[in-house]
Amino acid sequence: MDDLPPEPTPDNEFYDGNIPSITQSDQIASRQRSQNARALQEEEYDTNHRRRGMAIILNHENFELMSKREGTNRDRDAATAVLTSMQFDVRVYNDLGRDELFCVLLALASEDHSDCDCLLVMLMTHGDDDVLYAYDGPYSVDKLWESFMGNACTTLLGKPKLFFVQACRGSTFDKGVKLGCRDLDSDHFSSHKYVIPTTADLLVMYSSYKGHVSWRSPRGGSWFIQALCVELETNWKHMELLQLLTGVSRRVAYDYQSNMPSKGRMDAMKQMPSIVSMLTKLVYFPLKLCS
């Protein structure tokens, strides 16, 4: 007789070799899997709430010990206009210190978002590898969404939380590479229904790839925020979010290149935005008739 395959075992060095019997916890886990399966059938996030949601713009132009970010107010104003047209409730904060910034985020997380579809936070500042700068000093980039993870903000459970970060992520320049001949012309999910990872439903889009600089024009604003605003303005009513953001990446990658011939190592440089998505469904922004 053929040998039977071995019983599957937990990948755990403390497993003692005994196969556990069916218990009440197993039955609960079985029901859990059934509920999760039903949730998988819902391909889009719920957009039937009364409000689109809050959009927070954290704009940093002036710093205590760092250079002025000229052009950022153009980004702020463009973002305010397009997010307002998208029916977000927009709040703008300028040049906050670290404690002030953390207070704003904590207060936002403590608000009731039950009648909102989602949350959006947009930040424009100086940065480095995993570090962002407030007016008076640095902080970890994770601080931006820390207050909205897991049960930290229960009224946003199961809803998309979208973060857009315009900041350098290091000092590396992207020289680019030639690509042949191309013309570059219910109100919320309750915790007892089913369990989801604490990091679920989060999206972070960075203006550049890890370790690389992010470009900004003193007159025209940053490449990333300007491209994001153009794509949102053009496509938000009919295009799924990740498809739209791919358009942002394409626009930055192909339409922009630094022009600084007097500074050789900074001339003809490129930039590539980076998306980290933990979304579990499709994100749409249908027009709300009564907002």
DSSP conformational letter for 61: -
Structure-token pair, residue 98: 């670290």
113, 168, 188, 229: the active-site residue = 168
Tokens coding 44: 């889009």
Asked if 211 and 170 count as a contact pair (C-beta separation under 8 A), the reply is yes
Tell me the C-alpha distance between 108 and 110, whole Å. Answer: 5
Catalytic residue list contains 188 = no
Per-residue CA distances from 10 to 21, 24, 33 (Å): 14, 19, 18
Nearest-10 crossing angle of helices 72-85, 223-235: 20
Active site residue 168: yes
Of 88, 15, 91, which Cα lies nearest the Cα of 53?
88
How far the first Cα of the chain sits from its last, in Å, is 70
- What is the DSSP secondary-structure string of 158-205? TS-EEEEEES--SSB-B-----SS------S--TTT----TTTTEEEE
Q: Which residues are the active-site residues?
A: 126, 168
